[in-house]
């Protein structure tokens, strides 16, 4: 049985990846942070008491700021594969806490790579790199596009990107970057724009909210569906040689289009509810991201199935249900049709 270690197992991607690897027969170890409230909501449905013989998922307290504990975990578990997803992952917040973002999102990767190197074991490593690293580089962006980062978060991710390449070249490690474009789902954190919008739509329908404050409506992103993107992390580590891959849908849409699509899906007029609050503007913005996924299609045989309109419907349906209302249901039908053998729990 292969063993995988996931940092950030409680996050959006970590939770899907955990489900995916369990479905592939892996023993999965996740690092979680100690918090005064429960932070395991996204993985509670797959957790089995470790005393049970059926247990295949094991959680370990740790923090990516704590090299000693990272070393201990890697030394004790001896994983075959490490998926490094833990990060301060919010771009806007990285302008407020740039030093912390550097410590976690950049130096955290040094701590993991060093622990793997010092273990002396052949451990495959996946780094959660980001399309945010392309910044103001003109679209479409591919593996060969020059990076022009526009935030402390993007600079921190770029550090980790280069360190991953450096450990691959310098120490002959199987270390890879997945340069993933924005991917969303019903498990997306509530302050990222997609989820903020779909949740607000549901909350307005439920009569609990009458205003939605947003920032820049003109920014464009290449938005895909998170479960499909976590599967590609695994594929990247199953190749014969370590390499870096861009993953996205190849389509981009503005925040305004996302707003229009989400409100109109449930029959609401968005202009009645949406206002602009400059608090959500960023000192430097990334205007347009579009993935060039030729390499992933050719080498990894990867084709995304969920498009922008599908994604919005899937997310609005889930949020409407979470507010105790009956969903329109088109999103559910898309999931049934496109993923008859899906390995994740539909939220
Ligand atoms: P997310 O939902 O914000 O999850 C981040 C995870 O990191 C959470 O489990 C969080 O723990 C954990 N974490 C944060 N700080 C930590 C620390 N100091 N020590 C240990 N764990 C810590 O992010 P995501 O959307 O799943 O993204 C996963 C990774 O891919 C991130 O590195 C992100 O930057 C990158 N990425 C994401 C996208 C995207 O569109 N989603 C695109 C490209 C790259 P808590 O649950 O306790 O907060
Ligand atoms: O949803 P966002 O916060 O995602 P952003 O900044 O693109 O970052 C996400 O994707 C990256 C991949 O490219 C990841 F690496 C990163 O970890 C994260 O998952 O913002 C998307 C766009 C931005 O242009 C922002 O200015 O939406 C715009 N926006 C407009 N109003 C807003 C809002 N963003 C947020 N979060 N909140 C708003 O009210």
Taking only the tens place, the pLDDT of each residue in 199-230 is 999 999 999 999 999 999 999 999 999 999 99
Which atom number of ligand 1 is nearest to the Cα of residue 226? 41
Paired with 220 in beta bridges are: 254, 288
CA pair distance 70, 123, nearest whole angstrom: 14
**91: Cβ below 6 Å to ligand 2?**
yes
Q: Which residues does 71 contact at the CB level (< 8 Å), separation at least 6?
A: 115, 118
CA pair distance 130, 252, nearest whole angstrom: 16
Positions in the chain short of pLDDT 50: none
Which atom number of ligand 2 is nearest to the Cα of residue 277? 39
Asked whether residue 179 falls in the same domain as residue 55, the answer is yes
Which atom number of ligand 1 is nearest to the Cα of residue 180? 43
Let me know if residue 292 belongs to a domain. no
Asked whether residue 82 falls in the same domain as residue 230, the answer is yes
Q: Which residues does 163 contact at the CB level (< 8 Å), separation at least 6?
A: 109, 110, 113
SS3 assignment, position 170: helix
- Measured from the alpha carbon of residue 66, the closest ligand is 1
CA pair distance 249, 303, nearest whole angstrom: 8
- Measured from the alpha carbon of residue 185, the closest ligand is 1
Q: Which pLDDT belongs to residue 303?
A: 94
Total tally of structural domains belonging to the chain: 2
Between the CA of residue 36 and those of 4, 12, 65, 139, what are the distances in Å?
Answer: 27, 20, 18, 42
Closest CA to 163 of 127, 116, 120: 127
Asked whether residue 202 falls in the same domain as residue 110, the answer is no
CA of 90 to the centre of ligand 1 (A): 9
- Which of 215, 247, 275, 286 has most ligand 2 atoms within 8 Å of CB, for mutation? 215
Buried b (16+ CB within 10 A) or exposed e, 76-106: ebebbbbbbbbbbbbbbbbeeebeebbbbbb
Closest CA to 111 of 79, 161, 69, 58: 69
DSSP 255-282: HHHHHHHHHHHTT--GGGTEEE-GGG--
- Which of 5, 8, 152 has most ligand 1 atoms within 8 Å of CB, for mutation? 8
The whole-angstrom distance between residue 8's C-alpha and the CA centroid of its chain comes to 10
**150: Cβ below 6 Å to ligand 2?**
no
- Measured from the alpha carbon of residue 93, the closest ligand is 2
Q: What is the CATH number of the domain that holds 88?
A: 3.40.50.720
Asked whether residue 131 falls in the same domain as residue 276, the answer is no
Q: Which pLDDT belongs to residue 33?
A: 97
**33: Cβ below 6 Å to ligand 1?**
yes
**89: Cβ below 6 Å to ligand 1?**
yes
Length of the chain: 347
**204: Cβ below 6 Å to ligand 1?**
no
Q: What is the CATH number of the domain that holds 317?
A: 3.90.25.10
Asked whether residue 22 falls in the same domain as residue 144, the answer is yes
Residue 153 known to be catalytic: yes
Residue 130 known to be catalytic: yes
Asked whether residue 112 falls in the same domain as residue 199, the answer is no
Q: Is the pTM of this model over 0.95?
A: yes
Q: Which pLDDT belongs to residue 274?
A: 98
Let me know if residue 159 belongs to a domain. yes
Residue 185 known to be catalytic: no
Asked whether residue 205 falls in the same domain as residue 126, the answer is no
Other beta carbons less than 10 A from residue 2's beta carbon: 13
- Measured from the alpha carbon of residue 225, the closest ligand is 1
Asked whether residue 144 falls in the same domain as residue 167, the answer is yes
Asked whether residue 98 falls in the same domain as residue 210, the answer is no
Paired with 31 in beta bridges are: 7, 60
**182: Cβ below 6 Å to ligand 2?**
yes
Which residue range(s) make up the domain with 85? 3-183+224-247
Q: Which pLDDT belongs to residue 7?
A: 98
CA of 288 to the centre of ligand 1 (A): 22
Render pLDDT for 254-269 as a digit per residue (tens, 0 to 9). Answer: 999 999 999 999 999 9
Closest CA to 339 of 315, 305, 312: 305
Q: Which pLDDT belongs to residue 347?
A: 86
Paired with 276 in beta bridges are: 214
CA of 15 to the centre of ligand 2 (A): 20
């Amino acid at each position: 049985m292969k063993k995988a270690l996931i940092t950030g197992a409680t996050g959006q991607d970590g939770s899907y990846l955990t489900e995916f690897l369990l479905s592939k027969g892996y023993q999965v170890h996740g690092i979680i942070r100690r918090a005064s409230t429960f932070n395991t909501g996204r993985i509670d449905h797959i957790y089995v008491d470790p005393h049970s013989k059926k247990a295949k998922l094991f959680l370990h307290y740790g923090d990516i700021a704590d090299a000693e504990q990272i070393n201990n975990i890697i030394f004790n578990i001896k994983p075959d594969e490490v998926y490094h997803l833990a990060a301060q992952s919010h771009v806007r917040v990285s302008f407020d806490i740039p030093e912390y973002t550097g410590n976690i999102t950049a130096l955290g990767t040094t701590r993991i790579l060093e622990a793997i190197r010092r273990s002396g074991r052949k451990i495959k490593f996946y780094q959660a790199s980001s399309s945010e690293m392309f910044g103001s580089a003109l679209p479409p962006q591919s593996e060969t596009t020059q990076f022009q980062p526009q935030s402390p978060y993007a600079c921190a991710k770029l550090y980790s990107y280069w360190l991953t390449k450096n450990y691959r070249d310098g120490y002959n490690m199987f270390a890879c970057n997945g340069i993933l474009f924005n991917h969303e789902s019903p498990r997306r954190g509530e302050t990222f724009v997609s989820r903020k919008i779909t949740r607000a739509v549901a909350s307005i329908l439920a009569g609990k909210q009458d205003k939605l404050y947003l920032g820049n409506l003109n920014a464009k992103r290449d938005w895909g569906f998170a479960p499909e993107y976590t599967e590609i992390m695994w594929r990247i580590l199953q190749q014969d040689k370590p390499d870096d891959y861009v993953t996205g849908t190849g389509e981009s849409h503005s925040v305004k289009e996302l707003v229009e699509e989400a409100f109109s899906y449930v029959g609401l007029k968005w202009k009645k509810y949406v206002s602009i609050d400059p608090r959500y503007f960023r000192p430097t913005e990334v205007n347009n991201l579009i993935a060039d996924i030729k390499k992933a299609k050719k080498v990894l045989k990867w084709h995304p199935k969920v498009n922008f309109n599908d994604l919005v419907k899937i997310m609005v349906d889930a949020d409407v249900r979470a507010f105790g209302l009956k969903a329109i249901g088109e999103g559910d039908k898309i999931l049934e049709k496109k993923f008859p053998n899906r390995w994740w729990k539909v939220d």
